[in-house]
Amino acid sequence: MLMETVMSKNIKLTKNSKIYILCPRGIRTGGPTLMHQLASEIVKIYGDSITPFMRYYNISYKNAPADAYSEYHIKTAYDIVDSPENLVIVPETATDFLKFCPKCQKVIWWLSVDNYVSHLQTVYSDFLKAGKFLFPLPAPFNFSGGDDIFHFAQSRYALNFLRVNKISEDKIFYVGDYLQLIFLQRAKHIDISQKEPIVVYNPKKGGDFTEKLITAAPDIKFVPIQDMTSEEVEVLLALAMVYIDFGNHPGKDRIPREAAISGCTVITGKRGSAANDEDIPIESEFKFEDNDENIPNIINKIKEIFADFPKFHHKFDPYRKIILDEPKKFKRDLVKALNFKVKEMPTTIALLQSGARGRVLY
């Protein structure tokens, strides 16, 4: 099935290689979802040729809650075999773990550039408050070294970040992500004639500026995504006409895509990945600087959308097509990054249970 040795430019994997994907245990948010998608996609594409394992951290195994991603049916590893033929993939907030597997091949998957910086701030602040300087400090990725480490960029924003920090081009691979297939299938059947003049927002993102919009437009109904299950969010987005997001966009964010594929028009600020037209490929009339001068313009745009929703809905057709194509693109990106050479595609696949999606933290 698999040739004796498969390789990318420098990553070399054999039929005996194991891929360890590090992930925080017991929580269900965007980043951990992507780590499980990655493992699941490897199983779908390569069957038993290469074995991926989830290696969970942050919570002791004896006291850990039931796994939040059991429906993916991915094997769990409690230890990493430190061998040159194995590959370890970590999110950007867990680079400290790489020091425990010096012989393994290593990849940092940059899911959230902003979270990398804020994570470092939090870690060092906690050390300072606790007076723990008798213990070694964490070892985050050093941009002036780390020549043996490869990088997956989840967004154009992350790709630019790595280039600005002088990571060699032959060490960088674009590996995006995609929305859950069940969500994409259900979104195809949304009846936009049933849409209501509702503006949905995430209070965790750009909350201060959004509160100014709410105050300035008491005649508009704003509904926060808060304390909701994934199913409840899905229903809300299917009903609403507009989704707004004036927070930081640390990567190719999930909720704006969920909103767009659910038939919402999307209005964003210009922070982070929202500033480029690849991560959030919407027309410029739907992107605003989050300053007080733009509040009337944003409110007027929302009212224009309410008044002629079908017209504005169609302006997002190209964005929705991109979102629907993301599962196939993710597969192509992954195959290109790892460059597995298979003579014949296996029939083994990883199936998700359609009724076992669990709760996503919003």
Domains of the chain, by residue range, sit at: 5-179+326-338, 183-321
Predicted TM-score (pTM) of this structure: 0.84
For the stretch 197-250, pLDDT in tens is: 999 999 988 889 999 999 999 999 999 999 898 889 999 999 999 999 999 888
Task: Report whether pLDDT(251) > 60.
Answer: yes
The Cα 99–Cα 42 span in angstroms is: 25
Name the pLDDT band for 136 (thresholds 50, 70, 90). Answer: low
Q: Can you give the pLDDT at residue 5?
A: 38
More confident residue, 129 or 234: 234
The full length of the chain comes to 362
pLDDT band of 16, cuts 50, 70, 90: confident
Residue 83 confidence (pLDDT) above 60: yes
Residue 70 to residues 76, 118, 220, 322, 355, Cα–Cα distance (Å): 10, 29, 41, 29, 12
d(CA 179, CA 262): 12
Percent of the chain with pLDDT over 90: 58
Quick: pLDDT tens for 21-36.
999 887 778 888 899 9
- Determine which of 70-79, 88-97, 306-315 has the lowest per-residue pLDDT on average: 70-79
Measured distance CA(233)–CA(225) in Å, rounded: 7
Average pLDDT, the chain: 85
pLDDT digits (tens, 9 = 90+) for 339-356: 766 654 444 444 444 334
Tell which CATH classification among 3.40.50.2000, 3.40.50.720, 3.30.70.270, 3.30.300.30 matches the domain 183-321: 3.40.50.2000
- Note the CATH number of domain 5-179+326-338: 3.40.50
Per-residue pLDDT, 67: 60
pLDDT of residue 6: 40
Give yes or no for residue 272 having a pLDDT over 50.
yes
The two beta strands, 5-7 and 12-14, are antiparallel
